[in-house]
Amino acid sequence: MWSFVIDVGKDPETGKRKQEFGSGFKTRQDAEAAAAALITEVNHGTFIKESDILFKEWANDWLPLYIERNGPKPGTIRLRQYSIKKLLPYFASIKLKNITEEMYQSALNDLKDQDFSRSTIEGVHTTAKMIFKMAVSKKMLKIDPTTNAYIKKDEQIIIESDEEELPAFFEKEELALFLNTVRKKGLFMDNAIFTTLSYTGMRVGELVALKWKDIDFNKQTIHITKTSYTPDNNTKKYQLVPPKTKSSRRKIAIDNIVIDTLMKHKEEQEKLINHLGDSYLDKGYVFANVYRHPGYPILVKFVESRMDRSLKKTVLNLRLTPHSLRHTHTSLLAEAGVGLEEIMDRLGHHDDEVTRKVYLHVTHEMKREASDKFSNLMSSLI
């Protein structure tokens, strides 16, 4: 076996000469070729001494650097942590420099074979690319193994109907039945919660973060400036974070029904605040707890359980969720003749495929109905 030793210059920190070793070559020619390539890199200033750090060690070092540089929202940090957790079974104890393109691609393929959703794998892939990119930028690594990686496409199947691709939402008669049930049999706050969600299309996280100062009763608008983040469903450990996207920060016009409902709710809330006295931590939330941790904003889970309770008192689809009211709002606006762009603006979407599908479904049915009416009219004349 042949080997070589090359002087690669001085260590900038110690001032001592540094040497690089190469060994395990079967022939003298192989050793000389490798040495020549290394000398070329040194002479051109492209030589990189790759780190011996393990992937799990670098991932652990990378996350605080990523947070410091980007200041991401808590939900994004949680996503990065989740993605690292998914990468560790493949690379944890492997040196960063020894992870090849083939190894990384194999990991993505395996995640796909385990039936993780495409969005989940995309999140893992995005995190991995950032981890390796920073390692390259810090000259810990020569080649980024994620550069040419891809996520395998789903097998194309024939879909006889697009109905199954649509999210669940109420028809207008069903929404009326649900809201009437809430008014008659709901508990404190229920009517205000579900009327507001139904008539505005706001996200549940936006609803629970609402404060009274966000509502302008004179101009009849609700200003969406934040959303609530409670990953552990701990009432006291909530965080208020910026809306999902830049377009999510918006003002929603509301009508008299919502105004009257919210004003009535405010009156009821103030009576309870006076009754509870100092035990109520008044931070101005529209939808606040009054029993346990009075004054703290309610949880998204609270809204979900209240909706389940009311649905069980009807003959409606029990699989519907508070988010279904957002899709319902889209469908009813489309039925009322509101354009897709205006709907997107009201919902705080720059673009959304699900909203587009609901809109196109409703408008397609409206066009078909118009065609049927014309046909019936002509058949009565001919």
Position 162 scores a pLDDT of: 47
Contacts of residue 297, Cβ cutoff 8 Å, sequence gap at least 6: 208, 209, 228, 235, 238, 283, 285, 287, 288, 289
Distances in whole angstroms, Cα of residue 300 to Cα of each of 67, 185, 204, 260: 26, 21, 6, 24
The residues pairing with 297 across neighbouring beta strands, listed in sequence order, are 288
State which amino acid sits at residue 85. Answer: K
Give the model's confidence band at 107: pLDDT under 50 very low, under 70 low, under 90 confident, else very high.
very high
The three-state secondary structure class of 161 is coil
Q: What is the C-alpha to C-alpha distance for residues 30 and 26, in angstroms, rounded to an integer? A: 7
Contacts of residue 232, Cβ cutoff 8 Å, sequence gap at least 6: none
Least confident range from 2-16, 295-309, 330-344, 364-378: namely 2-16
Give domain limits for the chain: 2-43, 55-137, 172-368
CATH number of 55-137: 1.10.150.130
Position 318 scores a pLDDT of: 83
Quick one: what percent of the chain has pLDDT higher than 90? 58
Give the model's confidence band at 374: pLDDT under 50 very low, under 70 low, under 90 confident, else very high.
low
Q: Are 79 and 229 in contact (CB under 8 A)?
A: no
Give the model's confidence band at 204: pLDDT under 50 very low, under 70 low, under 90 confident, else very high.
very high
Distances in whole angstroms, Cα of residue 297 to Cα of each of 10, 190, 244, 260: 60, 14, 19, 21
**Residue 45: pLDDT above 60?**
no
Residue 251: burial class (beta carbons within 10 Å; 0-12, 13-18, 19+): middle
Position 59 scores a pLDDT of: 95
In sequence order, what DSSP letters do the residues of 261-314 get, joined into one string?
HHHHHHHHHHHHHHHHGGGS----BSSB-SSSSTTSBPPHHHHHHHHHHHHTTS
Reported as a single tens digit per residue, the pLDDT across 208-221 is 999 999 999 999 99
Least confident range from 161-170, 335-344, 351-360, 361-370: namely 161-170
Topology annotation, domain 172-368 = hpI Integrase; Chain A (1.10.443)
Reported as a single tens digit per residue, the pLDDT across 78-91 is 899 999 999 999 99
Q: What is the C-alpha to C-alpha distance for residues 52 and 96, in angstroms, rounded to an integer? A: 7
Q: Which pTM does this prediction carry?
A: 0.67
Q: Are 236 and 225 in contact (CB under 8 A)?
A: no
Give the model's confidence band at 176: pLDDT under 50 very low, under 70 low, under 90 confident, else very high.
very high
Token pair belonging to 144: 């980024």
Task: Work out the average pLDDT over 362-374.
Answer: 71
For the chain, helix, strand, coil in percent to 5 are 55, 10, 35
Q: What count of Cα atoms within 13 Å lies in the side-chain half-sphere of residue 357? A: 13
Distances in whole angstroms, Cα of residue 113 to Cα of each of 109, 118, 361: 6, 11, 32
Select the more confidently predicted residue: 96 or 44.
Answer: 96
Select the more confidently predicted residue: 12 or 380.
Answer: 380
**Residue 121: pLDDT above 90?**
yes
Long-range contacts of 52-56, Cβ-Cβ distance < 8 Å, separation of 24 or more: 52/95, 52/97, 53/95, 53/96, 53/140, 54/92, 54/93, 54/94, 54/95, 54/96, 55/87, 55/88, 55/91, 55/92, 55/93, 55/94, 55/95, 55/96, 55/99, 56/88, 56/91, 56/92, 56/93
Mean pLDDT of the chain: 86
Give the model's confidence band at 71: pLDDT under 50 very low, under 70 low, under 90 confident, else very high.
confident
Position 222 scores a pLDDT of: 97
Q: Are 342 and 349 in contact (CB under 8 A)?
A: no
| Tokens 């070793």 sit on residue | 21
Greatest C-alpha distance within the chain: 102
Token pair belonging to 253: 């016009």
